[in-house]
Chain A
Amino acid sequence: MLHIVNKSPFDTGSLASVLRVAKKDGGAVLLIEDGVYAAVKSSATEASLKAAGMPVYVLQADADARGLQSKLMEGVNMVDYGGFVDLVAGHDNVQSWL
């Protein structure tokens, strides 16, 4: 399942919920909109993302819009909207954690 998180981890517990309950096998996390703040290098959430146990993707356009191009942690995968589409097509289910 693809888990889409569009909230900053400093606003809501959406990302924490995903990391707590998501089935790791075959799962992936996609950070969009303010969700991209979770992937900032040296942030409080870096360790939890590194320990996610599943791939983490960041929507490039939303990271760029927030000036985070060079400030993201290592180990996350950048995708454009086409990559977003591929992730949706490549997982049997998609869950937006609104």
Chain B
Amino acid sequence: MKIAIMVNEGPYTHQATDSAYQFAKAAIAKGHEITRVFFYHDGVNNGTRLTVPPQDDRHIVNRWSEMGTQHNIDLVICIAAAQRRGLLDENEAKRQGKNADNIAPGFRISGLGQLVEAGIQSDRLVVFGD
């Protein structure tokens, strides 16, 4: 079954992203396909590669990156939510005249249309948030 996931909360602030990750992991283990994870609102903070948690804590950003790469999951960050919160990829940094970008590997920045498309093209859309 094709399952899409929406994450509306940031890492280390709310359980939502942990719940979403554990759910995705279990779904993959059961042979389902996670088609896309759409990060919206504070959820976009799951996609900054500058995150440096203490060594004895889980690395939420890397965890998503690795899962996305391993299982070919499209990790999409909402562009409007990302720009407000200082998340830029190379193109956006250039376009906005910023001297750095910070998007983590496996993530890409796109628009809300990707959420709508995920809802249409997947059998289920599961939302995690506050």
Contacts and interface: CB of A to CB of B under 8 A. Distances in A.
A and B form one complex: yes
Interface of A: 4, 6, 32-33, 61-62, 80-82, 84-86, 88-89, 93-94, 96, 98
A60 B47 CA distance: 28
Contact of A81 (B3, B15, B26): B26
17 contacts: A6-B15, A6-B16, A6-B128, A33-B15, A33-B16, A62-B15, A81-B23, A82-B30, A84-B26, A85-B27, A88-B27, A89-B1, A89-B123, A94-B125, A96-B126, A96-B128, A98-B130
B58 interface: no
A22 B61 CA distance: 35
A47 to B, nearest CB: 27
A96 to B, nearest CB: 4
B124 interface: yes
Closest 6 CB pairs between A and B? A81-B26, A96-B127, A85-B27, A98-B129, A82-B26, A85-B26
B19 A6 contact: yes
B94 interface: no
Contacts of A96: 126-129
Given A85-B23, A88-B23, 18 more contacts: A6-B16, A6-B19, A6-B128, A33-B15, A33-B16, A33-B19, A81-B25, A82-B29, A82-B30, A85-B32, A88-B27, A88-B124, A88-B126, A89-B123, A94-B124, A96-B126, A96-B127, A98-B129
Contacts of A62: 15, 19
Interface in B21-57: 22-23, 25-27, 29-30, 32
Contacts of B1: 89
Given A82-B30, A89-B124, A98-B129, A32 B19 contact: yes
A91 B22 CA distance: 19
A96 B43 CA distance: 16
Interface in B1-28: 1, 3, 8, 15-16, 19, 22-23, 25-27
Contacts of A98: 8, 127, 129-130
Contacts of A33: 15-16, 19
